[in-house]
Amino acid sequence: MNIKNFVLSYYKNAADGMHIHRLEQVTEAAKPHTHIYFQIYYVFRGNLTHYVGDISSHLSRGDMFIVPPGITHYIVMEEDTVFYSFSFMPDIFGMPNDNNRLALNFLHTLENGDYENIRPRITVPGEEILYVEDIMERLLKEFTLKPMGYGEVMSSYAILLITMFARIYIQALPDMTPNYENNRQSILHCI
């Protein structure tokens, strides 16, 4: 199987380590590929199937996924599907601080081999769908128009988007908190 490895410069108009576009058709993404950057897809309308290794996931409006660098994947779209593709280099957010810590920790976890534990689809809760779509549109507008300070604004929107993505993912995890009351006798016996 021929797997293409994309670099961000594949997109002729990539700027400041980021690229975003709204797509209604795909060519290269329909073939197994990998890249050296993170990529977020958000489905605005229609349906697509995302393949990561042997795992596939059906996505529709309000679903998104994030792919870290080096992970082979591809998508298959149905007719009349529209989605956002936001690509960015891992280092665009600088050093961790109080404003980007959750986003950077989440990306770091994905980048360092825990991708197999991340679901290939995250469903945005209904009340957040319009908010995520607004962020995507704002990212696209900043990227397209490139007004003064657009890189900083895009980085801020990206941190917001990834933080929301991490929050949705973490809240969907099964509760891993141990139930000490149910284990009380075992604990007392050990003591």
Check if the beta carbon of residue 75 is closer than 8 Å to that of residue 140: no
Query: Which parts of the chain have pLDDT scores under 70?
Result: 1-15, 113-120, 173-191
pLDDT at 12: 63
pLDDT at 53: 76
Show the tokens assigned to 82: 């529209």
pLDDT at 107: 87
Q: Ramachandran region of residue 60, left (φ > 0), alpha (ψ -120 to 50) or beta?
A: beta
Which helix (H) or strand (E) segment is 139 a member of?
A: helix 126-145
All residues at 6 or more sequence positions from 43 whose CB lies less than 8 Å from its CB, including other chains:
59, 60, 61, 62, 63, 64, 81, 82, 83
How many other CB atoms sit within 10 Å of the CB of residue 50?
Answer: 22
pLDDT at 174: 63
